[in-house]
Structure formats: C-alpha cells, structure tokens
C-alpha cells in the first residue's frame, strides 16, 4: 500500500527566492547581480531579555533584516508574533524591496520581528520588550538607514516607544526613525488606513480592467484586521456587497451582505467576528473558496496553495496580505483566468504613505488627509497601469509582471552603484 502524499511545509524564504528566480530568469539577469539580489544584505539576531511583572526575566529572540539598500534606506514593518522566524523575516524584507520598487518610492526592503505572543504581556512588559529590542537594533536602524513601521501586533504606540528610545540615545528627537507613529509625534494623516485604501484602489482598477461592476460585486475578506477592515469599509461605501469576513478565530458569511459597521462594533466588543448575529460560521479555509467576485486575503502567508487554488471561484484575488499565494497556486489561478493583484502592488499603500510620513518628518511639515489620499491614489493607479502594461507586453501573469518591473529597477540601481571595494 502506497504511503499517503505528505504536503511539504512551505517556507516563506524559499517562496520569495523562487518568485525572484522566475523574474531573474525572464530578465536574463547577470549571474553575479542575481547572486547579490537573491540574498539579504544584512541580518541581525538579538536576544531580548524582559523583566516581567512577577519579577522573573524572560528572554525573547528578535530579528531585523535589511534585504537591499540600493535605492535608499531599508523600509519595513516590525511584527510581534510567537511564530516569527528568521526565514519569515528574510522573505518579508525581500518582498519590501520589490514593493518599494514597483511603486517607485526611494527605499530598499527591510523587516523585523520578535518571537513573542504580545497578548500574553502586560502593557508594561510590552513597553519593556519594545524598548530593549529597539536598543538592540539601534546599531542598524535610523532615519537614513532603516526605518521600521507597524506590522502584525504592533501599532502607533509601539512606534512611539521606539522613536523615544532611539531619540534618548541620540540626545534629540528623531521622528523620522519610524513611521506609523501617532500624529501628535509626527505621524501622517491617512497612514492607519493606507494599506487597505491602496488595496481598494487596485481592486477598483482591476474591476474596471476586467469589466466587473464594483457596485453589487460580492466580496470575501480573509483577515479582518487593519487592512481587511479598512478595505471592507471602503468597498461597502462604493456599493460592493461584503458577504464574508474572518479573523484568527474563524469567519462569518451572509449571502445578502454583512453590515460592516456592525461587524466592526461586534469584534471590538467580543474580540472576534465569530458569532455575529444573523450570519453563519465559515472556516478561514472555506472562505477562500466561496462563490464571490473578489477575494481579499488580508491575513498571513501561504493561504492559497496548489491544494485549494483549483477551488478558488473569485474573478479577482487582491493580496492585501504579504505572500498569501504560493508559486504553484499562482500558476493554477492564472490558468483558470483569475486576475491576481500581487501583494507587492496591492498592499503597497502602507509603505507609500510611510514614505509620505518620512518626507513630512524631514521637512517638519504636516499634509492634510485629502492631500495624502490624493497622492496615494495617483501612485497606486499609475503603478497598477505599469504592471498591467508589462503583463500584456510580456504575456505573463500580474505577479511576474510586477516582479519584472521591480527587479529590473533594483538591479539597475545596484549595477550603477557597483561593488565596493
């Protein structure tokens, strides 16, 4: 009797490198340049001891990875999650390099994380963890070298602690060392909604491109955190019908549409969307296979795989999360005529407005939310058009097209700078 087939564990770094290889092959990238861009430029692993409320000391492991600095300082979020690994952070840093390049902002890619479940920490313990981690990575971060931002389980308060810690070491206030700060500390209007808003701009452009009327379009959102809830709110306001949303505890489905405002209130009170009155429960896996027009994966990596991709019914998949679709699944979705908006384009609104915040900090300026949203929309629309044009020119899927644009831009910058010494 044959042994059952074992599905291999998907490694985010292996996925990121494979995605790069596909573009590098098509670009016929110089082998030496390829070798440079395929690896991270700098990696820092730190021990993060924290004095807990009961007096004992717990030690956590933290990471900061800078993938490429060819086009400017590295830029990327900081996540607190018990499953954070070096390979995950490497992958996220590489994706940030391509994300910044595809929307044309002058940053390279970076990412950071601490392997911790922040929900098990008190606020004092969380502050202690953040300040010690910030101190340990202060040797490589800075407003001209590497600028962290919020990510999974981090927020403006965490950024405020990092800014203050770094500033105390420098002896003066340095608001530009992080983005995603509270507005009163140099944060930008529109930053909190930027990732979801940017995703919605690309969804709107994609719907227009394939001839889908967004009014009445059925939407399913996996992950009802910041990006997912903002995207749901905006799509609802445009006349779309959000029929399913989910979080870490599960999902809900309502065929005639969900009241997004009411679901947000329910989650705020109960800590989950599950149990929302009048809805039926669905699993996160089942949500991906619902009969909808637009599927928005806004959770974690490797959600759409070769196993479930054949059952995805959506006409548009909009990757508000980083790395939710594996390379094998990409091929299946493309063959089935699904229009995929790749993560490095779809969720680039966050880093775009982070760039705006960084510029405002250096100029000691404050833009209006209307100005921020207008500039964001212009960049997302232009970038979407450039990726579509590349896809049509090269007769490739949207992810490959986005990578061709991004890798080519980074490769040219790296080649122009040369190798030193």
Q: Which string of DSSP letters, residue by residue, matches 135-160?
A: HHHTTT-BTTTEEEEE-TT--HHHHH
Burial class (CB in 10 A: 0-12, 13-18, 19+), 242: buried
Annotated catalytic residue, options 111, 119, 264, 313: 111
What does the CA dihedral 257, 288, 12, 158 come to, rounded to 10 degrees? Answer: 20
Q: Which of 74, 106, 103, 109 is nearest to 91 (CA)?
A: 109
What string of pLDDT tens digits covers the 421 residues of the chain?
444 343 455 788 998 999 999 999 999 999 999 999 999 999 999 999 999 999 999 999 999 999 999 999 999 999 999 999 999 999 999 999 999 999 999 999 999 999 999 999 999 999 999 999 999 999 999 999 999 999 989 999 999 999 999 999 999 999 999 999 999 999 999 999 999 999 999 999 999 999 999 999 999 999 999 999 999 999 999 999 999 999 999 999 999 999 999 999 999 999 999 999 999 999 999 999 999 999 999 988 889 999 999 999 999 999 999 889 999 999 999 999 999 999 999 999 999 999 999 999 999 999 999 999 999 999 999 999 999 999 999 999 999 999 999 999 999 999 999 989 8
254 is catalytic: no
Between CA 334 and CA 341 the distance in angstroms is 11
- The values of phi and psi at residue 25, to 5°, are -60, -45
Per-residue pLDDT at 152: 86
72-97 per-residue burial string, b: 16 or more CB within 10 A, e: under 16: bbbbbbbbbbeebbbbbbbbbbbbbb
Per-residue pLDDT at 3: 41
348 touches 40 (CB < 8 A): no
pTM of the entire predicted model: 0.94
Q: What angle do CA 69, 393, 319 make, to 5 degrees?
A: 55
Superfamily of domain 194-346 in CATH is NAD(P)-binding Rossmann-like Domain (3.40.50.720)
Tell the residue number behind the tokens 């389980």, with chain if given. Answer: 153
185 touches 149 (CB < 8 A): no
Burial class (CB in 10 A: 0-12, 13-18, 19+), 100: buried
Q: 221: helix, coil or strand?
A: strand
Between CA 261 and CA 266 the distance in angstroms is 9
Per-residue pLDDT at 4: 39
- The architecture CATH gives domain 40-185: 3-Layer(aba) Sandwich (3.40)
Same fold, 40-185 and 194-346: yes
Q: Which of 136, 142, 127, 292 is nearest to 222 (CA)?
A: 292
Q: Which of 99, 108, 101 is nearest to 73 (CA)?
A: 108
Q: Which of 349, 340, 324, 105 is nearest to 227 (CA)?
A: 349
Residue boundaries of the structural domains of the chain: 40-185, 194-346
- Taking CA atoms, 286 is separated from 3, 96, 291, 348, in Å, by 27, 29, 10, 27
The contacts found for 26-33 with CB under 8 angstroms, 24 or more apart, are 26/394, 26/396, 26/400, 26/404, 27/404, 27/407, 27/408, 27/411, 29/407, 29/411, 30/411, 30/415, 33/411, 33/414, 33/415
């Amino acid at each position: 009797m044959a042994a059952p087939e074992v599905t291999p564990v998907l490694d985010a770094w292996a996925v990121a490198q494979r995605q790069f290889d596909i573009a590098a092959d098509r670009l016929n990238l110089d082998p030496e340049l390829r070798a440079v861009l395929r690896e991270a430029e700098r990696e820092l692993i730190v021990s993060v001891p924290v004095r807990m409320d009961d007096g004992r000391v717990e030690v956590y492991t933290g990471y900061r990875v800078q993938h490429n600095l060819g086009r400017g300082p590295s830029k990327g979020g900081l996540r607190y999650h018990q499953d954070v690994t070096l390979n995950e952070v490497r992958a996220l840093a590489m994706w940030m390099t391509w994300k910044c390049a595809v929307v044309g902002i002058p940053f390279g890619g970076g990412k950071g994380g601490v392997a911790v479940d922040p929900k098990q920490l008190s606020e004092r313990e969380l502050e202690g963890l953040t300040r010690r981690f910030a101190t340990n990575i202060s040797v490589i971060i800075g407003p001209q070298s590497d600028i962290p931002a919020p990510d999974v389980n981090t927020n403006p308060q965490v950024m405020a602690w990092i800014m203050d810690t770094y500033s105390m070491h420098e002896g003066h206030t340095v608001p530009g060392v992080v983005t995603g700060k509270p507005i009163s500390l140099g944060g930008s209007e529109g930053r909190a909604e930027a990732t979801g808003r940017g995703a919605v701009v690309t969804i709107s452009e994609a719907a227009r491109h394939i001839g889908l009327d967004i009014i009445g379009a059925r939407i399913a959102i996996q992950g009802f955190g910041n990006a997912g809830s903002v995207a749901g709110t905006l799509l609802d306001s445009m006349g779309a019908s959000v029929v399913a949303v989910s979080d870490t505890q599960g999902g809900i489905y309502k065929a005639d549409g969900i009241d997004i405002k009411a679901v947000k209130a329910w989650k705020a009170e109960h800590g989950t969307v599950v149990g929302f009155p009048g809805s039926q429960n669905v699993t996160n896996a089942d949500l991906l296979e619902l009969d909808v027009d637009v599927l928005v994966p806004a959770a974690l990596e490797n959600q759409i795989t070769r196993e479930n991709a054949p059952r995805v019914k959506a006409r548009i998949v909009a990757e508000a999360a980083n790395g939710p679709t594996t390379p094998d699944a990409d091929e299946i979705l493309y063959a089935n005529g699904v229009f995929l908006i790749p993560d490095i384009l779809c969720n680039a609104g966050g880093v775009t407005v982070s760039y705006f915040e960084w510029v405002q900090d250096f100029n000691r300026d404050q833009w209006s939310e209307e100005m921020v949203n207008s500039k964001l929309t212009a960049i997302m629309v232009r970038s979407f058009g450039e990726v579509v044009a590349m896809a049509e020119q090269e007769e490739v899927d949207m992810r490959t097209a986005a990578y061709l644009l991004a890798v080519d831009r980074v490769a040219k910058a790296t080649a122009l700078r040369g190798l030193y010494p």
